[in-house]
Amino acid sequence: MDYSRDSFFNSFQKIDFVGFDLDHTLIHYKIQELGKLVFDCLKRYVVEIRSFNKDLLQVEYDPEICVKGNLCDISKGNLIKIDNDNKVRRAFHGVNKQLSLTEIEQQYNQDKIIEFSGHRTENFLPVFSYFELGMGSLFIVMVDFFDEKKDQTCKNYAEIAKLVLDAMDYIFNDWNRGYYYPTITNNLDKYIKKSPKIRKLLEKMKENGKGLFLITNSLPEYSNYLLSFSIGSDWEKLFQIVVFFARKPSFYDSKAQFEIISQNEKSMKLMFGNYNEFKKLLFNSTPNKKEFKTCYFGDHLIGDIKECKAKTDWNTVAIIEELKPNSNDLLESPKWGSFSFCDSSKETKEEKKKTFWQQFADTHSDYYVYSLEEFYDQYCEFLSKK
């Protein structure tokens, strides 16, 4: 993270455009309810469509199994936590078997260091977001089914991971199929938190001369449900440009063309597209300025932060909900400890260290907060001093 609070907000005053991700940034979910819903939807897919053992449907979601920041080790059937040196600091095989230091050294060599840079690989499937808590949980539950020979649908752990990813694609990437979208849109108050401060923040930024845009990987129908519920049915008037199904991080360097959904003199709604064409749209909306500065807010440390920072000239602000003090809603399991740190260990004589993902946020974001509500409070405090 490059800025202290004061220096960041002094810099932020010079920003012309502010962009936002949708899920877990503008929209706050009730995390445990979301994790259970995704887990249940994924179970139904693998059983009803891919013929996995029906006993899987009887397994209840346990929020302590998997937390954001875990890695699914596809080759070994483990869930692991690594520090900022890529060293495996904690590992479970299946739901309940915690690996001892000796077992970790046997599986990951004596130095316990793995090759991982943040992106999904053939060996590691990261749990990046709260949508993926159900994915990581189901992977490790299905590992137990495989080990106990309760199902032979998959021949190895890699095939389990592939099946779980197929289920994720099925429930999220088509509005007209699966169980996730009808469940959540018919029960928004069960899964979504309303936050008046977020609308106030958007209005405050507009009052201070900033143009606002939204770039999300979510589908337009789903986004409209969430924004109408959380921010208001007139949410569209707050944004100059809205891009749905942007497919970040490929958005930043792809050549995909925009598909226009609607357009008028004040705003436009689009799908797909790419960064270079988007930047032209921003230029066209400010014909009297030869250059402008942009800041983007998002929760996904790859798609919203690292790749955005590397491939655009935008500043970035990471939303990391785990940083909220005294929160009972976050899935920080006693099994895994803090999102930000790996605890010291008498057994291994290892010191307390930052986790891989905390170091990642420190490196690739200009600033971070636990929510846009916190940012609103800080922003108002800064403006009150001017």
168 and 87 within one domain: yes
Distance CA 322, CA 340 (A): 8
Are 155 and 254 found together in one domain? no
Residue 44's nearest CA partner among 181, 178, 186 is 178
According to the model, what pLDDT value does residue 347 have?
A: 55
The string of DSSP codes covering 7-57 is HHHHHHTT-SEEEE-TBTTTBEE-HHHHHHHHHHHHHHIIIIIT---GGGG
Q: What does each of the 386 residues of the chain score in pLDDT, given as a tens digit?
A: 555 788 999 999 999 999 999 999 999 999 999 999 999 999 999 999 999 999 999 999 999 999 999 999 999 999 999 999 999 999 999 999 999 989 999 999 877 889 998 889 999 999 989 999 999 999 999 999 999 999 888 999 999 999 999 999 999 988 888 899 999 999 999 999 998 999 999 999 999 999 999 999 999 999 999 999 999 999 999 999 999 999 999 999 999 999 999 988 788 999 999 999 999 998 887 767 778 899 999 999 999 999 999 999 999 999 999 887 765 545 456 788 888 888 766 555 567 889 999 999 999 999 999 999 999 999 999 998 87
Residue after which a domain boundary falls, among 160, 185, 210 = 185
Please compute, for residue 64, the number of CA atoms within 13 A of its CA located in the half-sphere on the CB side: 6
Considering the domain architecture, whether residues 353 and 237 belong to the same structural domain is answered as yes
**pLDDT at res. 331:** 45
- Which residues span the domain enclosing 181? 32-185
Residues 171 and 56 in one domain: yes
> CA 20 to CA 18: how far, in whole Å?
7
Specify whether 317 is located in the same domain as 376.
yes
The predicted pLDDT at position 40 comes to 97
User: Do 19 and 85 lie in a common domain?
Assistant: no
> Are both 23 and 36 inside the same structural domain?
no
pLDDT at 205: 96
User: Contact 84/355 with Cβ under 8 angstroms?
Assistant: yes
> Can you read off the two tokens belonging to residue 76?
């070994």
Q: Which of 140, 155, 185 is the last residue of a domain?
A: 185
pLDDT of residue 343: 76
- Single-letter code of the amino acid located at 238: L
The phi and psi torsions of 241 (rounded to 5 degrees) equal: -135, 135
With vertex at residue 373, the alpha carbon angle to CA 372 and CA 378, rounded to the nearest 5 degrees, is 90
210 and 147 within one domain: no
**Pair of tokens at residue 289:** 């300025």
Number of domains in the chain: 2
Same domain membership, residue 278 and residue 219 = yes
Q: Enter the pTM of the model.
A: 0.91
CA 12 vs CA 66, 296, 298: distances in Å? 36, 11, 16
Query: Which DSSP string corresponds to 245-293?
Result: S--TTGGGT--PPEEEEEE-SS-EEEEE--HHHHHHHHHHH-TT-S---
Give the separation between CA 282 and CA 46, rounded to whole angstroms.
43
Q: Final residue of a domain: which of 185, 202, 223?
A: 185
